[in-house]
Amino acid sequence: MQFFRKIFTYFIYNPLEILILNTAIRTKGNLFVLIFNLLSFIKKSENRIIFKKNFFFIKEINWRFFQKKQGIHVYSRGMIQRIKELQNFYHLNEINFNDDDIIIDVGANNGDFYLCFKKKIKYFGFEASPSVFSNLEYNIKNQNLLNFALSYKKNEQVDFYINDDFGDSSVLPLKNFHKIIKVNTTTLDNEIFKIQKKIKLIKIEAEGYEPEILLGLLNYINDVEYITIDCGYERGIHKECTIEKCSNYLIKNGFEMIKFNNTRISALFKNTNFVSLPKIK
């Protein structure tokens, strides 16, 4: 029975799913909704979407997106599955979180990372793409959301290559992009200076620009307890991996790698020099 199930999955279910996904991406509006909801039903997900004013809305949690490729891949399986994937990929189960912990999310996209926390965290989400940032503002209320690109220099305007289909926009040149816009930069040092508190976790996912973002964290690096990074093969036109550059910089500045994912290349680093503030009783 197990053998036939594997044969069915490999030769029938998987090719059919790929066909449905590729078809859905080419559709528009309510036709995309129909295919999404059918696929969601097949996957036993509770997520159902509607289409309104050029956006898709997940009805169950009132979550907004417009990226069809990203939506069909990550949301059709349900939000619970999406949260588990992010928690595992960024190694969040290795960290003990408390209420009021400060989380900085670099490359926030639609805000999915915010949903990973059961505690009442204080969230700072950075998203450079203006159109995606509008989703972030809709999805996450009463938190700190900033439409900036993180870099190693602040108060600059840099070219930003827009490819929002799957959250692939980047400061670095891309092989496939829709347009180039100018975006304003800030640094982690600048933002932590404004926060004036210890940072529990920084998550960085910047399509290969992660090393430059880390260079903007020096003066306040010891105010950060954990850093988790997507170091996958996304850097520039040649799709290079950034694990070596990120690791070298952080280890040089007192961090140690405590968890690594070798499938999609992500790593969690802990600051050996970090001293937490005493809790007020």
Region 86-271: CATH code:
3.40.50.150
Q: What pLDDT, in 10s, does the model give residues 125-167?
A: 999 999 999 999 999 999 999 999 999 999 999 999 999 887 7
Q: Is the pTM of this model over 0.75?
A: yes
Q: What are phi and psi of 185, to 5 degrees?
A: -110, 155
> CA torsion 117→123→128→134, rounded to 10°?
80
pLDDT in tens, 231-242: 999 999 999 999
How many whole angstroms separate alpha carbon 57 and alpha carbon 276? 40
Domain range summary for the chain, segments of one domain joined by +: 2-77, 86-271
**Is 80 exceeded by the pLDDT of residue 21?**
no
The token pair at 68 is 């069809």
| CB distance 259 to 251 below 8 Å | no
Q: Which residues of 156-173 are buried (b: 16+ CB within 10 A; e: fewer)?
A: eeeebbbbbbebbbbbbe
Judge contact between 61 and 108, C-beta under 8 A.
no
pLDDT, tens digit, 9 for 90 and up, residues 61-78: 999 999 999 999 999 999
